[in-house]
Amino acid sequence: MPFADILKPYDQEHLLGTAGTNSNMCLDGDSIYLRTGNRCLRIDLATGTQLQEYTVPVHGADPPGVWGYIACADGRLFGTRANEGHVVRYLYISSDMTDLLTESEVFFALDVETGDEIWSYTPEHSLRHNAVAVGGGKVFLIDRPLVIEDTPGYVGDPPVEQTTGTLLCLDSGTGNVLWQRKDDSGTFYGTTLALSTQHDVLVVGYQYSQRSYQLPSELGDRLAGFRASDGTPLWSAGDRYISRPLINGLTVYTQPYARDLVTGERDNGFLLDDRSPGGCGNVSGSANLLLYRSGTLGYTDLVRRVGTENYGGIRPGCWINAISAGGLVLMPDATDRCTCSYLIKASIALQSEAATFPPDRDSDGDGLTGGEELSLGTDPLDSDTDDDGMPDGWEVTYSLDPNSGADATLDADDDGHSNLAEYQAGTDPSDPASFPVGPRTISTGGCTPSGASDLMGLFIAAILSRLGMRRRARSSGSSGDTGRDRPWSGAPRR
């Protein structure tokens, strides 16, 4: 069943989009719930058949309202009556923001089966759509006054501090307030909530997109975690970040940093600092991958951790970002009206290279299964990921680093022979009593006259090993491309 113009307000350039309004649809069980105007439609996910229609509850003399926030859980459909009088400014060039409403006046819960209203909550001030989170039998809200500086009619200085506010937790079944919190100044910060029901953590932060595309009211660097069940503060950090918080397992990512979700401790092994400044979309991700716009489609492999990489001459749109789902990366076309230099105008689905080899099989003959290679961050289709002349499996066996070529010239057991020389001779690089017969090399990088011929031999052997690897790659049809620069296989599909 077709539903006309459901995304028309979002089909414009340089918008806040769902980063301000929240989504206009949600999934629960076998149904998709779609808000449109003052209605919400329940649609069968498999057939597209409309199953039910809900409307925004009318209280007293209130006129019928426009549906704002939407979520569904535990047999309850949650929504808000949007504030149609508060329309925020567009952020770049010009767009029609009339139907992209970001604040609401009433929060309510309906029975999914009957459509009857279960409860409603009227805030003291206003509810920002991205300062709402639902899960674990609870509803989390930040009640804060509207910010007039966010509207297009405002002329004057930008705000210099956050307006007063309160963080509340309601019982999702009854609407009763379970707990509420303000900070020491008697107010509450933040414009965005992210919830992990699995780890009982509520993250409070700000809605940034590289500090280029956000409303004037997005003020502050504070990021904090609270115990969702009772509101106990767990941690707080004040480092400057430039992207909306993303919870991924036990990690919360806020470009350029990553922090432990429960303790707030920074992961010093992660730093996303090489993303193109032209990216205007939010970061999305899955267990092992972060996706974002960085000129073209950018990504960070969380296993290999080699920084920002890119896929082809195609770009996500502003706020229309790549989504990781069902083992695929899905990205809708975002260049239809674009005159910039991105060559591919297509909607694409990208498949991980991991799907092209069995995780229990050694596809490249290096002694490691595909599953082991994924956990190590090595290439399951290249027997020598770091091109140092030593197979990945051999390096792992002897506690060397299969992702770094620097250990080829080192001498792990101080027997005077490099690790590469020991591999070529079939000796044990971890045992000083096991070494090649012949002149010795110096592990510090210099060489004695007696070791010069050995060093030259290692150099020649390394070249021959590399050439042999490339020949194997070409014979397999890869034209010398070992796959390290190709995170996905398959051609884009329109």
Q: Would you kindly state where each structural domain of the chain is located, as residue ranges? A: 8-153+161-273, 370-475
User: String of b and e for 396-427 (b: at least 16 CB within 10 Å)?
Assistant: bebebbbbebebbbbbbbebbbbbbbbbbeeb
What gap in Å lies between CA 81 and CA 433, rounded to an integer? 78
Phi-psi region of 5 (alpha: psi -120 to 50; beta: other; left: phi over 0): left
The residue with tokens 């709402």 is 132
Q: Is the distance from CB of 234 to CB of 227 less than 8 angstroms?
A: yes
The whole-model pTM stands at 0.73
What would the pLDDT profile of 287-339 be if each residue is shown by its tens digit?
889 998 888 888 998 888 888 998 888 888 766 678 888 778 998 877 666 67
Beta bridge partners of 249: none
Within 10 Å of residue 249's Cβ, how many Cβ atoms? 12
Which has more confidence, 117 or 364? 117
More confident residue, 342 or 114: 114
What CATH topology corresponds to 8-153+161-273?
Lipocalin (2.40.128)
Q: What is the pLDDT of residues 188-220, one digit of tens each?
A: 888 999 999 999 999 999 887 666 677 888 888
Q: What is the mean pLDDT of the chain?
A: 82
Closest CA to 3 of 28, 24, 29: 24
DSSP 8-state class, residue 264: -
The alpha carbons of the chain give a radius of gyration, in whole angstroms, of 28
Q: Round to whole Å and give the CA distance between 103 and 442.
A: 69
| 484 pLDDT above the threshold of 60 | no
Give the separation between CA 484 and CA 55, rounded to whole angstroms: 52
Tell me which residue of 83, 57, 109, 485 sits closest to 306, measured CA to CA.
Answer: 485
- Integer Cα distance of 243 and 288 in angstroms: 18
Please enumerate in sequence order all residues whose Cβ is within 8 A of that of 91, keeping only pairs 6 or more positions apart, or say none.
14, 15, 16, 213, 214, 215
Portion of the chain with pLDDT greater than 70, in percent = 82
Sign of dihedral through CA atoms 201, 204, 210, 213?
positive
Most confident of 167-181, 370-384, 418-432: 167-181
Q: What are phi and psi of 266, to 5 degrees?
A: -75, 140
| Average of per-residue pLDDT across 134-156 | 92
- pLDDT score of 442 more than 50: no
For residue 231, name the pLDDT band (cuts at 50, 70, 90).
Answer: very high
Report, as an integer, the average pLDDT of 146-174: 88
What value does the mean pLDDT take over residues 109-130? 96
CA gap 57, 35 in Å, rounded: 14
